[in-house]
Amino acid sequence: MMNQDQVKTACDVAVIGAGIGGLTAAALLAKKGLDVAVFEHHTIPGGSVTAFKRKGYLFDAGATMFYGFGREIGMDYQTRVMDELGLSLEMIEMPTHYTLATPDHRFTVWKDKERYLEQLCRAFPADAAGIRSFYEEMGDIYKAVVKSPLRPLEFSPGLLIDFLKNVGGLTMLLRYSRKTTLDVMKKHVNNPRIKQIFDFESLAFSYLDSSECPAVLTSIILHDRHVGGVRYPKGGSQKLPDKLVEGLEKFGGRIHYKQKVEKILVQGGRACGVKLRDGTEVSAKYVVSNAQALDTFNYLVEKGAQSRKLRDRVDSLKITDSFFGVFMGVDASAIPKGGDYFDANFIMIPNYESDWRKALPALVATPSIHDPTVAPAGKHAMHVISAEPYNGWKRDEKYAEKKAKKAEELKKIAERVMPGLKNAIEYECTASPLTYERYLLRNKGTYGPKMTMDQALFNRMKNRTEIKNLFLVGDSSFPGQGVVAVTANGYMCAQLIG
């Protein structure tokens, strides 16, 4: 960890925040020979992809399912970055994505696509043909996505050449970019139960149901798991940002922890550096903000340096709710013995409410099923997480009671697949929206700007901003939310600068 007196007062690129997007851009730019300094308010890198250890258990603060680690198949963006940096990261390939536990069924999403579809078709025989044709159409969209170049969405000779090489695929994406998942689905199936299953597939990764989620995004959610597969970093999610820091430092870049950026310096319409909380000013030729767009333009850049058009755009951004999580160290007896395969990840759907928020969906994740190194012998590290509105949460005399009540609610949901959970818990802690806001420095603890049609794909903010030499990375800019998406975003940002 670097001390304050080791902060150089000038660099080529100042990166605000050590999330996956920021670290990806930083490491790739360092490899290109630029002098890169990353400023991170926390004591560890990773942003939403971090882990913390308690009583011998290692808990993932966020992601437990990782796309992008295939090789020359699917969305292999993580592999591309590791290869470019000359790094390797041991990943455990999982046989499944997760199991959907509905009130009356369990559908395990195997990497083998046919094995998953057979379950759905057996449960809904009258809709079998429609299920298959819907999945096939979404697969066609997905194929067009993976054939598209990993380039920034701004005109360049290279982008034009890529377009001419793949006119058909890119034309298809343009056409489907105007369609929601429901627009595509309703041509094939009308059974409300099937719609809800695919709603929760979308919700798990986009925070949107099929009526709001872009068809292009859902095509990736549904199909990349069957192509590139789903993996988990051996030793926990923290291994991914740690590896990117290794790449950054390998090429001479620096990361400064416990250094919060208070202001982006702008002169004459050009970003020229950052000001740290202690008053230190660091001049830079380029500034890359891995803070969310709302935080970047509401707090870091003076509003007088922004155009009316940009202010209107920022003020109109719609963000998702936050999360509530309960993290538990449990005895291995919590995992049912015998019977069918027990998944490391469950998407729990307690009821079929038409409003998904009232259905109380939750993720039950137990990565130690595949990676025993994250828990003591004979134990498991698990967490249960669900969407939770930020409003209504206050650190007052009722805060602890409210957290305890919400934790009990989530544990009861998890007990549907782990009946012995209550008596197996040996350690427990919780995270409210206020916790996520504090540690991640994310406005209201949000997952980010919603991926609705008017804020997704070609309508999302881009890496390059109107302020010269100020760039965005992370989930606020194209392509959006998710670890593999922000990796792609950081990769594209590095192309623009380097």
User: Is residue 1 predicted with pLDDT exceeding 60?
Assistant: no
b or e along 465-476 (b: 16 or more beta carbons within 10 Å of the residue's beta carbon)?
Answer: bebebbbbbbbb
User: Is residue 230 predicted with pLDDT exceeding 70?
Assistant: yes
Cβ atoms of 235 and 203 within 8 Å: the answer is: no
b or e along 255-271 (b: 16 or more beta carbons within 10 Å of the residue's beta carbon)?
Answer: bbbebebeebbbeeeeb
| Residue 5 structure tokens | 């007196």
pLDDT category of residue 158 using cuts at 50, 70 and 90: low
Between helix 77-85 and helix 239-250 the angle, nearest 10°, is 40
User: Is residue 137 predicted with pLDDT exceeding 60?
Assistant: yes
pLDDT category of residue 377 using cuts at 50, 70 and 90: very high
Tell me how far the alpha carbon of residue 309 is from its chain's centroid: 28
Q: Which residue in 140, 102, 104 sits closest to 222, CA to CA?
A: 140
What pLDDT score was predicted for residue 163?
Answer: 62
Which tens digit of pLDDT belongs to each residue from 454-464?
A: 999 889 999 99
What pLDDT score was predicted for residue 167?
Answer: 72
Q: 3-state DSSP call for residue 106?
A: strand
Backbone angles phi, psi at 362, to 5 degrees: -150, 150
What pLDDT score was predicted for residue 476?
Answer: 95
Question: What average pLDDT score do residues 237-263 get?
Answer: 98
Counting residues of the chain whose pLDDT is more than 70, the rounded percentage is 95
Backbone angles phi, psi at 37, to 5 degrees: -125, 130
Which tens digit of pLDDT belongs to each residue from 54-106?
A: 999 999 999 999 999 998 788 899 999 999 999 999 999 999 999 999 999 99
Query: Where do the DSSP E strands lie in 68-206?
Result: 91-94, 96-101, 106-110
The per-residue pLDDT of the chain, averaged, comes to 93
Which tens digit of pLDDT belongs to each residue from 280-301?
A: 999 999 999 999 999 999 999 9
In 3-state terms, the chain is what percent helix, strand and coil (to 5)? 40, 25, 35
pLDDT category of residue 203 using cuts at 50, 70 and 90: confident
Q: Identity (one letter) of the amino acid at 58?
A: L
Q: Which residues have C-beta within 8 Å of that of residue 382, sequence separation ≥ 6?
A: 327, 328, 330, 334, 364, 365, 366, 367, 368, 414
Cβ atoms of 487 and 311 within 8 Å: the answer is: no
Q: Residue 171: which H helix or E strand, with range?
A: helix 167-176
Counting residues of the chain whose pLDDT is more than 90, the rounded percentage is 85
Query: Where do the DSSP E strands lie in 306-358?
Result: 322-331, 345-348
Q: Which residue in 242, 253, 229 sits closest to 88, CA to CA?
A: 242
What pLDDT score was predicted for residue 352?
Answer: 78
What pLDDT score was predicted for residue 438?
Answer: 93
User: Is residue 3 predicted with pLDDT exceeding 50?
Assistant: no
Tell me how far the alpha carbon of residue 175 is from its chain's centroid: 26
| Residue 122 structure tokens | 């057996």
Q: Identity (one letter) of the amino acid at 272?
A: C
User: pTM value?
Assistant: 0.94
Q: Which residue in 467, 463, 468, 465 sits closest to 486, CA to CA?
A: 463
Residue matched to tokens 């559908």 = 107
